[in-house]
Amino acid sequence: MTWIPEVASNLASKVDGLLILITLLSLVFFILITVVLVYFAIKYRRKREDEETPYITGNEPLEIIWTVIPSILLIILFVYGYVVFKDMRTPPEDALEVTVEGKQWLWTFDYYNGKKTINELYVQHNRPVRLVMEAPDVLHSFFVPAFRVKQDLVPGRYTQLWFTPTKIGTFDIFCAEYCGTGHSAMLGKVIVLSPEAYEIWEKGVKADEGAGVASLPPAELGEKIYKEKGCNACHSVDGSVLVGPSFKGIFGHAAVMQDGSSVNVDENYIKQSIIEPQAHVVKGFQPVMPSFKGILSDEEVTALVAYIKTLK
């Protein structure tokens, strides 16, 4: 079926089943009511000027039928909905836990083994995952259409979500709660790996750094990281100012800091801006850039520097 997203989790077909049942039932009643309405309007229209409207006081059997049948249908929908809801709310005990932070405007994922990723959630095929989620700033909503899961992240409390991915592949994550300028760029991917690939990833080798990516020239690798690690939510490359300054033409020029000092934008300054963003805050901007320490490897930072250099 192409009119609904791919079915890629254990919960997806249950949610679809309920949705399809409700839609079909609504359709049946819509058609039934419309047809009867049109039919009656024609059949019982006033035919003569002096025709009087009959006075009808009630019809008990009819009233019982149209009360009992919809009530039964509603009870069925409620029970079906409750069963699916309860399932979606009750993660299995052995689910793997990942801590998610959604903030303006990116997703960070912390795994049990100390690994941390940005905008990419790595999970294992057929293994349940429980996400414990928090938001330090405003409301966000974690939404994976292919899994049929969506949950708000609420400042000041933890919310949770679980699913078992049933298909190997890459699936979109959206923020589904308007959260400011960068909302539409608050995107991510869930990467579902086979158990073997997951084991390799867990041990530290990055799953997405196959031979193809590793052999990219640094500037191209940098461009890829710029897009995949969410730099593009806050930094443009065409000179337009987003949450942060544009990368266009910064290299080799002086940047003015909040305290009025000026710093030359060279390799070390860019590296420091990525690892310790608050060390120098550019004038006219808020100190909101998250640190990428421990998230980006030295090689990736070098690739970013190479990419920024090409943006004249």
Which residues bind to Cu ion, rule: CB under 5 A? 140, 175, 179, 186
- Amino acid found at 157: R
Measured from the CB atom, is 12 or 265 closer to ligand HEC?
265
147 binds, among Cu ion, ligand HEC, none (CB under 5 to 8 A by kind): none
DSSP strand pairing (149-153 vs 140-144) = antiparallel
Taking the C-alpha atoms of residue 125 and residue 172, their distance in angstroms, rounded to an integer, is 16
Angle at which helices 298-310 and 267-275 pack, to 10 degrees? 130
- Note whether 274 binds ligand HEC by CB under 6 A: yes
**In whole angstroms, how close is the CB of 149 to Cu ion at the nearest point?**
16
Of the CA atoms within 13 Å of residue 129, those in its CB half-sphere come to 26
Rounded to 5°, angle at Cα 269 from 263 and 270: 130
Among 137, 255, 267, 310, the residue binding ligand HEC under the rule CB under 6 A is 255
DSSP 60-78: HHHHHHHHHHHHHHHHHHH
Distance in Å, CB of 142 to ligand HEC, minimum: 17
Nearer to ligand HEC, 151 or 273 (CB): 273
Nearest approach, Cβ of 244 to ligand HEC (angstroms)? 3
Using CB under 6 A as the binding rule, whether residue 187 contacts ligand HEC is answered as no
**Partner whose binding site includes residue 207, from Cu ion, ligand HEC, none (CB under 5 to 8 Å by kind):** none
> Which of 298, 300, 297 lies closest to 115, judged by CA?
297
Residue 148 binds what, of ligand HEC, Cu ion, none (CB under 5 to 8 Å, by partner type)?
none
Q: Figure out which of the listed residues 287, 293, 294, 299 binds ligand HEC, where binding follows CB under 6 A.
A: 287
Q: Which does 311 bind (CB under 5 to 8 A by kind): Cu ion, ligand HEC, none?
A: none
Nearer to ligand HEC, 168 or 281 (CB): 281
Task: Based on the shown chain and the rule CB under 6 A, indicate whether residue 138 belongs to the binding site for ligand HEC.
Answer: no
88 versus 250: smaller Cβ distance to ligand HEC:
250
Q: How far is the CB of 69 from ligand HEC (least distance, A)?
A: 54
3-state helix, strand, coil in the chain (%, to 5): 35, 20, 40
The site partner of 189 among ligand HEC, Cu ion, none (C-beta below 5 to 8 Å per kind) is none
Choose the contact partner of 140 out of Cu ion, ligand HEC, none; CB within 5 to 8 A by kind: Cu ion
Identity of the residue, 26 or 258, whose beta carbon is nearer to ligand HEC in the bound complex: 258
The pair of three-digit structure tokens given for residue 12, joined into one six-digit string? 């997806």
- The reply to whether 265 sits near ligand HEC by the rule CB under 6 A is yes
| Token pair in block for residue 137 | 């700033």
Q: What is the per-residue DSSP string for 199-237?
A: HHHHTT--TT--HHHHTS-HHHHHHHHHHHTTGGGT--S
State the Cα–Cα distance between residues 276 and 291, nearest whole angstrom.
Answer: 6
* Closest to 167 (Cα-Cα) out of 10, 49, 303, 15: 10
When binding is defined by CB under 6 A, the residue of 15, 190, 233, 306 that contacts ligand HEC is 233
Q: Which of 245, 303, 306, 309 binds ligand HEC (CB under 6 A)?
A: 245
Nearest to 206 by CA among 275, 98, 97, 120: 120
What residue ranges bind ligand HEC (CB under 6 A)? 104-106, 229-231, 233-235, 243-245, 250, 255, 265, 270, 273-274, 277, 280-282, 285-289, 292, 304
